[in-house]
């Protein structure tokens, strides 16, 4: 696992982190780790949603009413057969 060093934090920030950590019953280091983990997880999730939104925006105005799809029975398979 990697180690991260953060310098020059304001004393008030340190005190707030200590208080939050105490409320959650963990060390300040564990609290910072939890904050970073949750923040990056949320950011990753938002990035995935934005990609979906971009794909939707790109294709939403395409008129598909004249598209005709025919099923090729030779390629079809019954997913319930084994």
Query: How does pLDDT run along the chain (82 residues), one tens digit per residue?
Result: 889 999 999 999 999 999 999 999 999 999 999 999 999 888 887 777 788 888 888 888 888 888 888 877 777 777 766 5
Displacement of CA 19 from its chain's centroid (Å)? 28
69 part of a folded domain? no
35 part of a folded domain? yes
2 part of a folded domain? no
18 part of a folded domain? yes
Q: What is the pTM of this model?
A: 0.55
**Structural domain total, the chain:** 1
Note down the domain range covering 26.
12-59
Pair 24, 31: CB distance under 8 Å: yes
Torsion of CA 32, 38, 40, 46, to 10 degrees: -150
Pair 17, 27: CB distance under 8 Å: no
1 part of a folded domain? no
39 part of a folded domain? yes
């Amino acid at each position: 696992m990697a180690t991260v060093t953060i310098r020059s934090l304001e004393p008030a920030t340190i005190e707030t982190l200590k208080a939050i950590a105490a409320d959650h019953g963990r060390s300040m280091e564990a609290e910072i780790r939890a904050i970073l983990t949750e923040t990056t997880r949320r950011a990753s999730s938002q990035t995935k949603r934005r990609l979906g939104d971009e794909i939707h925006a790109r294709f939403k105005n395409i008129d598909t009413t004249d598209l005709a799809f025919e099923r090729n029975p030779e390629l079809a398979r019954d997913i319930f057969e084994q």
